Structure 1
Amino acid sequence: MDARTLRGRSAEAFALLGKPCVGARYLGKGDAHRLEEGARCVLCGRPASNAHHHPPKGMGGGSFRLSTPKGEFALRPPLLAVCGCGNASGCHRLLHSGRAGVRWEWDAEEFERMWLDGSLIEGREPNSPGLFAFGKYVIEAPWGRKEARG
């Protein structure tokens, strides 16, 4: 991936754009979103009280238009259900402070190639839970590592 494609984002931030939301969803084309009923924190499992944009919007997680041979797609950062008030407490604070991390891992290199050329997203909505058929989140927290598939 070249710098022109990344447009100032880190490769790690870019890799998360368009990936599935967990416990929250966008309401239309803008930033408005809501938690799913009964959502649990992706880090600790407590009841969720907030949705975290990952990567945070100020860290390269804003909307992005990806041009591929298959077309152009609008990608947004996934929303992850977390506990905490705003980004000042709970697991939401752990993510913003860097004490916890989330990354996307494809089940096969082929899926990553298909994502980048647009063939995997074709016919699917970005941030769709259907993408869990091809990969998962790896979550690192102070108390350990876990995987999440929605």
Structure 2
Amino acid sequence: MIQPLSMRGRHAVVLLVEDNEDHVFLTRASFEEAKLQIDMRHVDDGAKCLAFLRKQPPYEDAPSPDLVLLDIHMPRMDGYEVLDAIVKDDALRHLPVIVLTTSAEALDIERMYGMRCSSYIAKPLDFESFTKAVAQLAGYWLNLVVVPHRDG
């Protein structure tokens, strides 16, 4: 039976794809501040993201994420390339990908939605607003929305 992630009897697995360590800290702290039961995993570039999702070395034992939080501007492989690869991969295209980035540029927003991102959130600059945004994001994606899940 398909249920919201919060009703599946385990912590939701969230993969954060972010190269800025301050933003990683802020995201982790925001989940904790909002008292969300999440197993947050982190990679710092797009190539590592795809290796994680495909369970390639060194991520053979990585859990399958329920959500991907994706930054756009990263080294090696940017968010556009990552989303393009996810959408084209039959084993990954079911994943909700939420763009979580500092860019509020109309071109970035239009391009990511055109590529099939599930949501686009421009990161608020202060901790309180960021925490509120993360809590709202998690409340929606973990408690309300029903998404497919594939173990693997």
Q: Which of structures 1 and 2 has the larger relative contact order (alpha carbons within 8 angstroms, sep 6+)?
A: 2
Fold match by TM threshold 0.5: no
TM bucket normalised to smaller: under 0.3
Relative to its length, the structure with more strand (as a share) is 1
Relative to its length, the structure with more helix (as a share) is 2
